[in-house]
Structure 1
Amino acid sequence: MAITVDPRHNHLLAALPDAEWQRWLPQLQWIELPLGKVLHESGAQQSHVHFPTTAIVSLLYVMENGASAEIAVVGNEGLVGIALFMGSESTPNRAVVQSAGQGFMLGAQVIKDEFTRAPVLHLLLRYTQALITQMAQTAVCNRHHSLDQQLCRWLLLSLDRLQCNELVMTQELIANMLGVRRESVTESARKLQKLGLIRYSRGRITVLDRPALEKRSCECYAVVKKEYDRLLPAGLPPGPPNFRR
């Protein structure tokens, strides 16, 4: 896999004011994010925040019996580790890579020091508001909508955080994210494939008809996307930074 050498493929890093960008750049560390890598466990102290560029990270709530369900996804639009600047160094959630890729990380003390600076504070708080909206809408969706609709929402949110229309994902992992049985995911995926919306083969899901997938999804996807679009900048600034790993 080619190394992403531009941290500003992460939209939050791309939106930093120039003064903050120049301070952060020497301290950003490139990191490979393989499938299944745990970035932090529930209740554990967080040493870094992570800014995915080509990876997707799932935030999971883990119950006492070991069962888990996804409450949010983070990709190139944001960061993993908001607890560090929200008054805590740990969180009750587990963060695990659900789609392999790359990203950058920044030390905990660095982000806490920078959060006292107004431009960064406003940017990170807007991202936190968007992430909380996603968490709340996920809870509503899991309670009130069908598994078919939940799967469509999950696929769309994941694709928004990638630069392609293909996901490398097993049905078992999807079931773990949605908190359902693997057989139920298999049945829903077959329906979508029969309708020509996706192609699923050997752990790879390719979206063939995104507009149709959006129509089949519930309103939860549109609510979350609208909030991210409203609160956060999109796209990359012109020209690459002078960054070396």
Structure 2
Amino acid sequence: MLHKHDPNQNFLLAALLDAEFNRLSPHLELVSLKLGNVLAESASKTDYLYFPTTAIISLHYLLENGGSSEIAGVGNEGVLGISLFMGGDTTPSRAVVQTGGFGYRIPARILMEEFDRAGPVMRLLLRYTQALITQMSQTAVCNRHHSVEQQLCRWLLLTLDRLGPAELTMTQELISNMLGVRREGVTEAAGRLQASGFISYRRGHITVTSRVGLERNVCECYGVVKKEFARLLSDTRNRQPPAMAGRPA
């Protein structure tokens, strides 16, 4: 049984082989990630990579007019800081904690030493990066071609996959910032989902009452992202079964 906080709650850390995990684990530091914490600013370098366990980190692109939109999310399936091992050092996105919780951070220097061994860690992280790029691409397509209601279903399902519980602490203002749409659009979309019996919304809390309903209503983008994570990462050998609600199937 896993302890309350355990690195194996992160899918990537759980997928490491014993030798690699034993080299990295002494350098993993449990950190509390509070809602709204900024972990990385656009165009800035970071000294750490973050492996969320019970938190979700949102990657935002900030516009010159002050607007923003989420381009991807990172939960217990991934890692924040791919620019470090992709050779870019910085990224144009801003990383903000969307859902408070915990995670593990590791000094960039330590992980890069392991990455440069050109072994299992490098292959695992590159495969995750490909899956993350798919999520970014599909988010762009979804925001352009699908309704706010479908986008909201996609966002709710991805959040559930990472967190597990059916009740989410989310304001409509936060969701509108994530999707890059007007708050009124989110209000209308949430109202339709509530009228259909798929969710219940009150005072910043969204309770999913019918996941099946959300899955029937969502566009294909959710399935594309989920299948790509499964295709790229499901055949990795887990040292220990990670406690993931939304582990790729």
- TM-score in terms of structure 1 length: 0.93
Does structure 2 retain, via aligned residues, the 8 Å contact 1:11–1:235? no
Q: Secondary structure at the match of 1:77?
A: coil
Q: Among the aligned pairs, what percent are the same residue? A: 61
Distance across 2 between alignment mates of 1:229 and 1:217: 19
- Partner in structure 1 of residue 111 of structure 2: 111
One-letter amino acid of the counterpart of residue 221, structure 1: Y
Q: Secondary structure at the match of 2:162?
A: coil
Distance across 2 between alignment mates of 1:93 and 1:174: 18
- Partner in structure 2 of residue 30 of structure 1: 30
Q: Secondary structure at the match of 1:180?
A: coil
Residues 196-234 of structure 1 deviation map (CA, whole Å, 9 limit, x = unaligned): 101111111111111110110000000000001111138
4+ runs deviating over 6 angstroms: none
Residues 50-107 of structure 1 deviation map (CA, whole Å, 9 limit, x = unaligned): 0000011111111112210001111000001100100022110001111111000011
- Partner in structure 2 of residue 133 of structure 1: 134
One-letter amino acid of the counterpart of residue 123, structure 1: L
Q: 1:38-117 to 2 correspondence within 5 Å?
A: 38-117=38-117
1:120 and 2:116 equivalent?
Answer: no
Which blocks of at least 5 consecutive residues in structure 1 are unaligned?
241-245
Residues 118-143 of structure 1 deviation map (CA, whole Å, 9 limit, x = unaligned): 11010000100000000000000000
Residues 111-170 of structure 1 deviation map (CA, whole Å, 9 limit, x = unaligned): 111111211010000100000000000000000001110110111111111121221111
Does structure 2 retain, via aligned residues, the 8 Å contact 1:159–1:165? yes
One-letter amino acid of the counterpart of residue 177, structure 1: M
Q: Secondary structure at the match of 1:231?
A: helix
Please report how far the alpha carbon of residue 4 of structure 1 lies from its aligned counterpart in structure 2 after TM superposition: 3.9
CA gap 1:46/1:9 in 2 versus in 1, 3 angstroms: same
One-letter amino acid of the counterpart of residue 32, structure 1: S
CA gap 1:116/1:219 in 2 versus in 1, 3 angstroms: same
Does structure 2 retain, via aligned residues, the 8 Å contact 1:33–1:102? yes
Q: Secondary structure at the match of 2:163?
A: coil
Which blocks of at least 5 consecutive residues in structure 2 are unaligned?
243-249
Does structure 2 retain, via aligned residues, the 8 Å contact 1:137–1:220? yes
- Partner in structure 2 of residue 243 of structure 1: none
CA RMSD of aligned residues (A): 1.6
Q: Secondary structure at the match of 2:102?
A: strand
Distance across 2 between alignment mates of 1:180 and 1:71: 13
Equivalenced residue count is: 238
Q: Secondary structure at the match of 1:160?
A: helix
One-letter amino acid of the counterpart of residue 207, structure 1: V
Does structure 1 retain, via aligned residues, the 8 Å contact 2:72–2:132? yes
CA gap 1:195/1:236 in 2 versus in 1, 3 angstroms: farther
- Partner in structure 1 of residue 200 of structure 2: 199
Please report how far the alpha carbon of residue 235 of structure 1 lies from its aligned counterpart in structure 2 after TM superposition: 9.9
One-letter amino acid of the counterpart of residue 204, structure 2: G
One-letter amino acid of the counterpart of residue 65, structure 1: N
Distance across 1 between alignment mates of 2:132 and 2:75: 11
